[in-house]
């Protein structure tokens, strides 16, 4: 399988953090912005209110585009995870896209 990957300017937040991936075999594509969570599948935007990045100290990271606003419980879980010794709290974040202000709000 071969993929073509690129990092371009995000159409929503304007930061150069929009990672795209094109699968040459299936011609499917997907993209996610590491800053605001804007995500697409086959160039169609998906519902996204933000992004959660969890980076472990061993280098393994997971990024998730959020389709719903995180609940209070969800935010508390995020804060708890940041206290985990295995998590790199400097590289992990929770960003919510503020559509009215057109900017990212960082949840701490
Ligand atoms: Zn973005």
pLDDT in tens, 11-27: 999 999 999 999 999 99
In this prediction, residue 1 has a pLDDT band, given cuts at 50, 70 and 90, of: confident
Secondary structure of residue 77 in the 3-state scheme: helix
28-78 tens-digit pLDDT:
999 999 999 999 999 999 999 999 999 999 999 999 999 999 999 999 999
Say which residue, 108 or 67, is predicted with more confidence: 67
Paired with 39 in beta bridges are 32
**Which residues make Cβ contacts (< 8 Å) with residue 48, sequence separation at least 6?**
36, 37, 38, 39, 65, 66, 67, 97
Q: Give me the number of domains the chain comprises.
A: 1
Q: Provide the domain limits for residue 84.
A: 3-107
Distance, CA 20 to ligand 1 centroid (Å)? Answer: 12
Distance, CA 46 to ligand 1 centroid (Å)? Answer: 13
Tokens in use for 26? Answer: 């299936």
């Amino acid at each position: 399988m071969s993929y073509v990957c690129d990092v371009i300017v995000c159409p929503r937040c304007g930061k150069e953090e929009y990672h795209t991936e094109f699968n040459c075999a299936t011609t499917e594509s997907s993209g996610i912005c590491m800053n605001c969570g804007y995500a697409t599948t086959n160039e169609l935007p998906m519902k996204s209110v933000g992004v959660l990045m969890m980076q472990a100290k061993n280098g393994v990271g997971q990024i998730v585009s959020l389709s719903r606003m995180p609940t209070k419980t969800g935010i508390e879980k995020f804060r708890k995870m940041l206290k985990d010794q295995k998590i790199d709290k400097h590289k992990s974040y929770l960003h919510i896209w503020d559509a009215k202000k057109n900017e990212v709000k960082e949840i701490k």
